[in-house]
Amino acid sequence: MMMHFSQKLCLYGSTFIVVAGCWLCMSLNCHAQDEGTPQFYEKQKEGWFWYHDPLPKPEEEPGQEINQVQEVQQQENRYRGTDLEKVSLEELWTMYPDDFQELLDHVQNLAVQAPTEENTLRYLIMQDVARRKALAYTNSAMYVTQKYGNLFNVNQVYPTSRPGVTARVQMQNQEIGQTIRSARNDHALIYFTSPTCGFCEKQSGILAYFVDKYGWTVKPVDIGQQPGIAERFGIETTPALLLIKKGMKDYMPVSVGVVVLTELERKLYRAVRYLQGETRDDNFLMYDFQKGSAFDATSILDNEGKQPWQEK
């Protein structure tokens, strides 16, 4: 009984689908007639998916295609007909680098196509010329950077020798400490926490040591109890530290997540200098003792309109 009922249901369902399909076709047909388009029965030999050849492309002007092909061939065959025996070493030495590279590729292709003694020797000679030109540039670069050390020498403010590194670190730490201590009266840190923060306990211990060392004001804010403050500063993750300055609407994020004391000092030092207007985004990492040096990105522009290569 159940099977008989299912068969009748399937039969009725199939009939409904056929009727619905016919109704849909009639609706589309009526819509097409309203639009004034040819109907299926008017074009039954073609059907709905009759293929039509694409429209012909507009004809190009006579000779245009030939000129394009000739231009490409001229670029590709620039050196194929060159009598390489007439190209002197002096010409190779003074040749524009792009032209030299193109000729070098051509000579290499000849050596690969016909690896005779003559072709291989010519290619190796050109390689030797390229090596010597690179060596000449390296020597010139070393000479210029030594002569104009005030423009290019970074060792004067960022030495790499062990005594120099020790002195550099001491200067950086001294500048960081002085900047942080001098800013404690008109700056403060907002410390965002939450009850579910498993890292805030460690960050709180680091901040306690920071307060003992520098005497700063650190204001804790529970983002669960004070969501308005967190929303105002766009804080969604804890722990997070944010720097504010008295009398200023601007603020500066310092860190997100647990930050150790040395990293906190560096980030806070840069944030304080930025809010005080001592740095910008293009010299944000610069220390004060690096002003005017090669680590001062825009100092090269402070030359009173003189070009460095025109100075004697």
Same-domain status, 189 and 96: no
Q: Is residue 136 part of a domain?
A: yes
Phi and psi of 220, rounded to 5°?
Answer: -75, 140
Q: Is residue 55 part of a domain?
A: no
The CATH number of the domain where 205 resides is what? 3.40.30.10
pLDDT digits (tens, 9 = 90+) for 55-77: 777 766 665 555 665 554 555 45
Please state, for a pLDDT cut of 90, what percent of the chain lies above it.
56
Range of the domain at 205: 162-301
- Mean pLDDT estimate for the chain: 81
Query: Structurally, how many domains does the chain consist of?
Result: 2
With CA atoms as reference, report the closest residue to 186 among 146, 217, 211, 214: 217
Same-domain status, 124 and 189: no
The predicted structure's pLDDT at residue 151: 76
Question: Which of the residue ranges 26-30, 50-54, 306-310 would you say has the lowest mean pLDDT?
Answer: 26-30
Same-domain status, 193 and 247: yes
Query: Strand 187-193 to strand 218-222: parallel, antiparallel, or no bridges (unpaired)?
Result: parallel
Same-domain status, 277 and 173: yes
The predicted structure's pLDDT at residue 87: 84
Please state, for a pLDDT cut of 70, what percent of the chain lies above it.
71
State which of 115, 143, 171 marks the end of a domain.
143
- Please name the residue ranges forming H helices in the chain: 2-35, 64-76, 89-94, 97-113, 117-147, 149-152, 162-182, 200-214, 227-233, 261-275
The answer to whether 237 and 200 have CB atoms below 8 angstroms apart is no
Question: Which of the residue ranges 4-8, 97-101, 135-139 would you say has the lowest mean pLDDT?
Answer: 4-8
158 vs 311, more confident? 158
pLDDT digits (tens, 9 = 90+) for 131-189: 999 999 999 999 988 888 777 778 888 888 999 999 999 999 999 999 999 999 999 99
pLDDT digits (tens, 9 = 90+) for 202-224: 999 999 999 999 999 999 999 99
What number of residues does the chain have? 312
Q: Which two tokens stand for residue 252?
A: 């500066």
Distance CA 50, CA 23 (A): 24
